[in-house]
Amino acid sequence: MTAAALSLRNVDKFYGAIGTGVHAVRDVSMDIDKGEIVALLGSSGCGKTSTLRMIAGFEDVSRGAIRMNEREVHRLPPFRRNVAMAFEGYSLYPPLTVRENIAFALKSEKLAASEVDRRVNEIADMLEIDGILERHPSSISGGQQQRASLGRALIRHADLHLLDEPMGQLEPQLRALLRGRIKHFIKERGLTAILVTHDQTEANALADRIAVMEDGVLQQFDTPARIKDHPSNLFTGTFVGEPPMNVFEARVSADNDRMRLMLPENVLLDYEGAAFSDDVRHALGAVDKVVIGIRPYAVHRKADGVGAVVATNQWLGDQTHIAADFAGGTLVLVEHERARLKPGDAISVVIEPSNLHIFDAATGRALAHGTEIAQ
């Protein structure tokens, strides 16, 4: 088995005294493989940037250990970790031109001037900053500074590349263009990279695996597909996905013949018991109350469905987002055709058992995805 490029073991970060200070990162453990791109995804204050800064060596580890290539590094200063980092705050040298800033990262490699120029020009072309190489940071925009900082990090030969909100200042069209280029660049060179972002589109597009964080806790560490289709808990299920997952509390009545989920306002989802695996029937038979989740793309209008009333209807150019009053809450549907509906219209919706996500109401832990037990 190949050693992990980076391992975090039971890592905690307190700002202030251990045990009484602000507990920003809580018992985080993960292994990141060589050549892997990992995204730390979460909202502001979730602990993702603190985690990145501990890996870089800019924050002390309060408890636990960090290893790179089987070597403990959490007590080493940043310059001894061989890490390249692009900050959200740019961190360019003001007296140097953009070209000189990017080339500075190659200084220790003692390359020929022609090779330095070739590599700087290559990465500048990829990041769409080839036209500003002779300018100084003070004379370029924030988005250009951010790309220059990113170029300086990516051009380095390092054991680990840490990217803190690397495209946060860019307009959406440019961000979409660069995501594919950056991923290709990283993969082609076999770099190991950790990306901090609050943007799930960016995380899904760039990362091999995503670490979802909330309140300092690692909620799930998995591939983008598994996080969306098999969220480990209610937080991950509702945080990842756009539009967000629909959720409703439900009372469960399960036996061999029927699986009944009673939602608020006596809305009943009634399924054949045989549609669910034995493990799911057993798990749901042991609980009284659950939370069900349904992705908006998985809700369909059909004549023989359960009743709902249209609240809003938005056509977004390539899809329709319908919000309907349903079971005392709001049910969002996404359709790819334009729906000719207006507020107050009655509709019928069908939620297939294969599209259900079922969570424990008390703990938020996933119990089932579709008709199979959660793994």
Which is nearest to 163 in space by CA: 184, 183, 136, 180?
183
Q: Which of 184, 204, 231 is the last residue of a domain?
A: 231
Query: Whose structure tokens read 């598994």?
Result: 226
Q: Which of 231, 259, 280 is the last residue of a domain?
A: 231
Q: Is the Cα dihedral 63, 68, 71, 77 positive or negative?
A: negative
34 shares its domain with 110: yes
193 shares its domain with 80: yes
50 shares its domain with 199: yes
Q: How many domains does the chain have?
A: 2
168 shares its domain with 294: no
Give the span between the Cα atoms of 149 and 159, in whole angstroms.
Answer: 18
45 shares its domain with 130: yes
227 shares its domain with 355: no
Its pTM stands at 0.94
The mean pLDDT value for 227-243 works out to: 98
52: number of Cβ within 10 Å: 21
SS3 297: helix
10 shares its domain with 75: yes
- How does pLDDT run across 69-95, given as a tens digit for each residue? 999 999 999 999 999 999 876 689 999
In a domain, 219, yes or no: yes
Q: Which residue has the higher pLDDT, 26 or 167?
A: 26
Looking up residue 178, the CATH number of its domain turns out to be: 3.40.50.300
What per-residue confidence (pLDDT) applies to 331? 99
181 shares its domain with 267: no
In a domain, 239, yes or no: no
The mean pLDDT value for 146-164 works out to: 95
Domain assignment of residue 290, given as a range:
246-373
Q: Roughly what angle, to the nearest 10 degrees, separates helices 142-154 and 113-126?
A: 130
What per-residue confidence (pLDDT) applies to 48? 98
Mean pLDDT (the chain, rounded)? 95
Give the span between the Cα atoms of 216 and 214, in whole angstroms.
Answer: 5
216 shares its domain with 258: no
pLDDT tier, 210 (very low <50, low <70, confident <90, very high otherwise): very high
What per-residue confidence (pLDDT) applies to 56? 96
In a domain, 13, yes or no: yes
What per-residue confidence (pLDDT) applies to 3? 59
262 shares its domain with 146: no
What per-residue confidence (pLDDT) applies to 256? 73
Percent of the chain with pLDDT over 70: 99
Give the span between the Cα atoms of 124 and 248, in whole angstroms.
Answer: 49
In a domain, 35, yes or no: yes
97 shares its domain with 212: yes
pLDDT tier, 1 (very low <50, low <70, confident <90, very high otherwise): very low
193 shares its domain with 276: no
Query: Omega before 243 cis (within 30°)?
Result: yes
Give the span between the Cα atoms of 261 and 264, in whole angstroms.
Answer: 10
- How does pLDDT run across 274-300, given as a tens digit for each residue? 999 999 999 998 899 999 999 999 999
pLDDT tier, 328 (very low <50, low <70, confident <90, very high otherwise): very high
Give the span between the Cα atoms of 82 and 76, in whole angstroms.
Answer: 11
What is the 8-class DSSP label of residue 244? Answer: P
In a domain, 1, yes or no: no
What per-residue confidence (pLDDT) applies to 44? 94
What is the 8-class DSSP label of residue 66? Answer: E
Looking up residue 352, the CATH number of its domain turns out to be: 2.40.50.140
In a domain, 238, yes or no: no
